[in-house]
Chain A
Amino acid sequence: GAGVSQSPSNKVTEKGKDVELRCDPISGHTALYWYRQSLGQGLEFLIYFQGNSAPDKSGLPSDRFSAERTGGSVSTLTIQRTQQEDSAVYLCASSPAAGGTDTQYFGPGTRLTVL
C-alpha cells in the first residue's frame, strides 16, 4: 500500500513568510509524528498526535510553530514568520499506535530553506 507522503518536497521561502507543510500518513495509522533534522544534527522530535489530539507539544521550538491533524489523517505543520534557523528537513512519520514497539514509517521529508 501507499507509504507516508509529504508535500512539498522542497520549499524555499523568504524570512518572515509563513509556510505550511503537509503530511499524509499511512491509512489507519493513529499515531503521527513530526521531526526536523537540521544540518549535521539528529532527528529532533517536534510533536506527536494520537488521533487528532496532541498530548505533547513540548518539542515545538517556539510559538511560531503549530500543528494540527484533522479526521485522524492528514496533518499540517505551520511555521509563522520563518527565520533562517528554521531551515531543515522536516520529517513526518506514522505508526499504527503510539508506543515504542510500533514501528514508525517515515515520509521522504520536506526540505525547507529560509533565505
Chain B
Amino acid sequence: DQQVKQNSPSLSVQEGRISILNCDYTNSMFDYFLWYKKYPAEGPTFLISISSIKDKNEDGRFTVFLNKSAKHLSLHIVPSQPGDSAVYFCAAWDSGTYKYIFGTGTRLKVLA
C-alpha cells in the first residue's frame, strides 16, 4: 500500500513556464515532507522541505505548498529551466516508524 503517491509519472513543460509536481499521502501523522531531485546515474539530492505546521515554503524558484486537510503537497518551479529536467521524488517523514517514505517519482522534462 503506497502511503506517498505521485500519480503523474511524467510531465513536460516549456522553458520559462511553471512546473507543478503533485504528491498525495495517506497518513495524517506524517509531519515533515521533502522533495528530492534525481539526475540519471546520480543519487537523489535534497531540494526543499516543509513542516506540517506550515503551508508554504519558498526557496528561490522552488515553492512547496502543503494542504493538510487534503493530504496533498505540490512543488512549483517557476520559471522552469532545461536544467530542471530530472526525476522528482516526494518523501514524508514517519515519526512513528522513524522512516522516510518515498513516492515513485515524477519525471520532469523542460523543453527549450
State the A residues within 8 Å of B (CB). Answer: 4, 33, 35, 40-45, 48, 55-56, 58-59, 91, 93, 98-101, 103-109
The 6 closest A-B pairs by CB, nearest first: A100-B93, A106-B43, A100-B32, A42-B104, A43-B102, A42-B102
- Whether A106 contacts B44 by the Cβ 8 Å rule is yes
A104 in contact with B98 (CB, 8 Å): no
B contact residues vs A (CB 8 Å cutoff): 2, 4, 6, 31-32, 34, 36, 41-46, 49, 51, 89, 91, 93, 95, 97-105
CB of A56 within 8 A of CB of B98, answer yes
A103/B46 contact (C-beta < 8 A), A41-B104, A43-B89, A48-B98 known: yes
Interface of A is mostly: loop
B89 touches A105 (CB 8 A): no
B101, A45: Cβ atoms closer than 8 Å:
yes
Give CA–CA (A4, B32) in the complex, Å: 23
In angstroms, Cα B42 to Cα A43, docked, is 14
Determine if B104 and A93 form an interchain contact, defined as CB atoms under 8 angstroms apart: no
Task: Write the chain A residue with the least CB distance to B4.
Answer: A42
